């Protein structure tokens, strides 16, 4: 059996639909599904606490698998409920004072912006945005200048935005933040499991991600990477619990010495074990293989879509990732949505509510988003193209 056949036979969902919604939630491999079911069965038979004790070694492997995939150490990872939860725990560990600056980009994730605006209202922090190059990525010279000019407390970068194929230069930005001793917070929700991410090379202080997307894990699971620098300097989430700290004296607590200080005591261990199986599966396929194949498929799709009249591919960036977005002139997106659904082609649609600044700049009000993964075939890539051609002719 060839690789692609093997990946598809490991993915039961691939028999039932053309799944191009991997930037929304991917299809779980059988090993992930089995790990979750096994733990639920154990909880049913033994009791929840007893099942977790029984699986203690397997639970510990979650951190080793994450360290292996993202090239860091096991002690740097925390399990969280989702990417937003991970991101907010990281942000909450920074002691902002009125007037402090959060430096970010026009392509940062919508929920991150909502939190920045809330911090502005509540604590008077300021939000500054680094300008982009004409090709779409952030301008690294502007980042350097803005750091000198605004002396920000933190730079927040969404590695791959939710609504386009853009890949931001996260490693180069990390070097600039390091030179200037700025806290570097990376939203890796769309890059984890899609790109061969090396967190040590990126030099970030925090990297937040979710499992259900390109990592192919369950919904309701995420993780946070916390650098040694943040751990050594006692950064911890604002709302700690007894998982993250020990109550050692009436007026004092002591922090756990690893990133589990960013976790909650109560977790879905079935989801954590499913997430661990997803990390192990990605490790076994290999991130360079995954990255090359998703970019190959996405580029094929971009090329085919751009050859159709009235279709504009909206992705920017020198190097583009697995998220393919397009706008179709004078077409009701509902029409496209039902035609794709009829053919069992899974994808998603975005509006300006997903990325206000990016949509404003692109002067459009909707996009269709296709996100292939390595288990998709070249035949599947042709299917949405045929549906669009059919609607437009
Ligand atoms: C770039 C980016 N960041 C963060 C999130 C939020 O992830 P979650 O829903 O797991 O909190 C998403 C979800 O689409 C995303 O695309």
286 pLDDT above the threshold of 90: yes
Question: Of the residues 23, 79, 84, 278, which should be mutated to test ligand 1's pocket, given the most ligand atoms within 8 Å of the CB?
Answer: 84
Do 272 and 160 share a structural domain? yes
CA distance 170 to 368: 26
Supply the DSSP string of 365-380, one letter for each residue. SEEEEEB--TT--HHH
Domain end marker among 244, 265, 285: 285
Query: How would residue 26 be classed by pLDDT, with cut points 50, 70 and 90?
Result: very high
Do 176 and 133 share a structural domain? yes
CA distances to 48, 69, 303 from 33, in Å:
19, 20, 35
Do 245 and 121 share a structural domain? yes
135 pLDDT above the threshold of 90: yes
pLDDT single digits (tens) 232-278: 999 999 999 999 999 999 999 999 999 999 999 999 999 999 999 99
Which of 325, 335, 321 lies closest to 305, judged by CA?
325
Question: Which of ligand 1's atoms lies nearest the C-alpha of 158?
Answer: 1
Query: How would residue 358 be classed by pLDDT, with cut points 50, 70 and 90?
Result: confident
Supply the DSSP string of 69-92, one letter for each residue. HHTS-GGGEEEESSHHHHHHHHHH
pTM value? Answer: 0.97
Question: Which of ligand 1's atoms lies nearest the C-alpha of 159?
Answer: 1
190 lines ligand 1 (CB under 6 A): yes
Q: What is the rounded average pLDDT of the residues 290-312?
A: 97
pLDDT of residue 1: 84
The CA 84 to ligand 1 mean position distance, Å, reads 6
pLDDT of residue 356: 87
350 lines ligand 1 (CB under 6 A): no
Do 316 and 233 share a structural domain? no
Do 228 and 317 share a structural domain? no
The CA 373 to ligand 1 mean position distance, Å, reads 17
Do 279 and 342 share a structural domain? no
Do 330 and 261 share a structural domain? no
291 lines ligand 1 (CB under 6 A): no
Domain of 11: which CATH number? 3.90.1150.10
CA distances to 103, 129, 196, 209, 297 from 155, in Å:
5, 10, 22, 17, 32
Q: For the chain, give the mean pLDDT.
A: 97
Three-state SS at 102: strand
106 pLDDT above the threshold of 90: yes
Which of 216, 174, 226, 179 lies closest to 194, judged by CA?
216
Domain count, the chain: 2
Residue nearest to atom 4 of ligand 1 (CA): 189
Give the residue numbers spanning the domain of 18: 3-26+287-392
Do 90 and 218 share a structural domain? yes
**Can you tell me which residue has the tokens 């020990």?**
246
The CA 142 to ligand 1 mean position distance, Å, reads 26
Do 250 and 368 share a structural domain? no
Three-state SS at 358: helix
Domain end marker among 250, 285, 320: 285
Domain of 177: which CATH number? 3.40.640.10
Query: How would residue 226 be classed by pLDDT, with cut points 50, 70 and 90?
Result: very high
Query: How would residue 354 be classed by pLDDT, with cut points 50, 70 and 90?
Result: confident
pLDDT single digits (tens) 145-164: 999 999 999 999 999 999 99
Antiparallel, parallel or unpaired: β 245-249 and 252-255: antiparallel
357 pLDDT above the threshold of 90: no
The CA 110 to ligand 1 mean position distance, Å, reads 9
Greatest alpha-carbon span in the chain? 74
Query: How would residue 359 be classed by pLDDT, with cut points 50, 70 and 90?
Result: confident
Do 223 and 110 share a structural domain? yes
pLDDT of residue 307: 97
Do 325 and 240 share a structural domain? no
Domain end marker among 242, 270, 285: 285
361 pLDDT above the threshold of 90: no
Query: How would residue 392 be classed by pLDDT, with cut points 50, 70 and 90?
Result: very high
User: Long-range contact list for 349-353, CB < 8 A, 24+ apart?
Assistant: 350/162, 350/163, 350/325, 353/110
Do 369 and 258 share a structural domain? no
Q: What is the rounded average pLDDT of the residues 108-127?
A: 97
| Tokens linked to 340 | 């794709």
- Does residue 388 contact residue 328 with C-beta atoms inside 8 Å? yes
28 pLDDT above the threshold of 90: yes
């Amino acid at each position: 059996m060839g690789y692609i056949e093997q990946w598809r036979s490991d993915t039961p969902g691939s028999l039932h639909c053309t799944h191009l919604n991997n930037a929304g939630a991917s299809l779980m491999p059988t090993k992930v599904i089995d790990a979750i079911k096994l733990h639920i069965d154990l909880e049913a038979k033994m009791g929840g606490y007893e099942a977790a004790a029984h699986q203690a070694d397997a639970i510990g492997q979650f951190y080793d698998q994450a360290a292996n995939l993202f090239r860091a150490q096991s002690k740097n990872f925390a399990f969280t409920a989702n990417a937003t939860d991970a991101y907010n725990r990281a942000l909450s560990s920074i002691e902002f004072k009125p007037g402090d600056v959060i430096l970010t980009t026009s392509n940062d994730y919508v929920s991150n912006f909502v939190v920045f605006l809330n911090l502005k209202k509540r604590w008077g922090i300021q939000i500054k945005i680094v300008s982009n190059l004409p090709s779409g990525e952030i301008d690294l010279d502007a980042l350097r200048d803005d750091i000198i000019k605004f002396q920000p407390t933190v730079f927040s970068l969404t590695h791959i935005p939710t609504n386009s194929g853009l890949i931001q230069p996260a490693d180069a930005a990390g070097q600039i933040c390091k030179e200037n001793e700025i806290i570097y917070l990376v939203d890796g929700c769309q890059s984890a499991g899609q790109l061969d991410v090396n967190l040590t090379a990126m030099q970030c202080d925090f990297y937040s991600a979710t499992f259900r997307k390109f990592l192919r894990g369950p919904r309701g699971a995420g993780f946070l990477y916390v650098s040694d620098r943040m751990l050594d300097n006692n950064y911890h989430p604002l709302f700690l619990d007894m998982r993250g700290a020990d109550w050692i004296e009436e007026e004092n607590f002591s922090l756990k010495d690893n990133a589990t200080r960013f976790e909650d005591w109560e977790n879905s261990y079935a989801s954590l074990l499913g997430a661990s199986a997803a990390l192990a599966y990605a490790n076994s396929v290999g991130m360079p293989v995954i990255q090359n194949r998703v970019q190959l498929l996405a580029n094929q799709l971009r090329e085919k879509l751009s050859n159709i009249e009235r279709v504009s591919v909206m992705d920017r960036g020198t190097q583009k990732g697995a998220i393919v977005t397009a706008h179709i002139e004078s077409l009701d997106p509902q029409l496209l949505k039902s035609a794709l659904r009829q053919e069992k082609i899974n994808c998603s649609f975005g509006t300006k509510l997903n990325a206000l600044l990016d949509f404003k700049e692109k002067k459009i009000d909707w996009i269709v988003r296709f996100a292939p993964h390595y288990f998709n075939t070249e035949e599947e890539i042709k299917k949405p193209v045929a549906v669009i051609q059919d609607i437009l002719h």
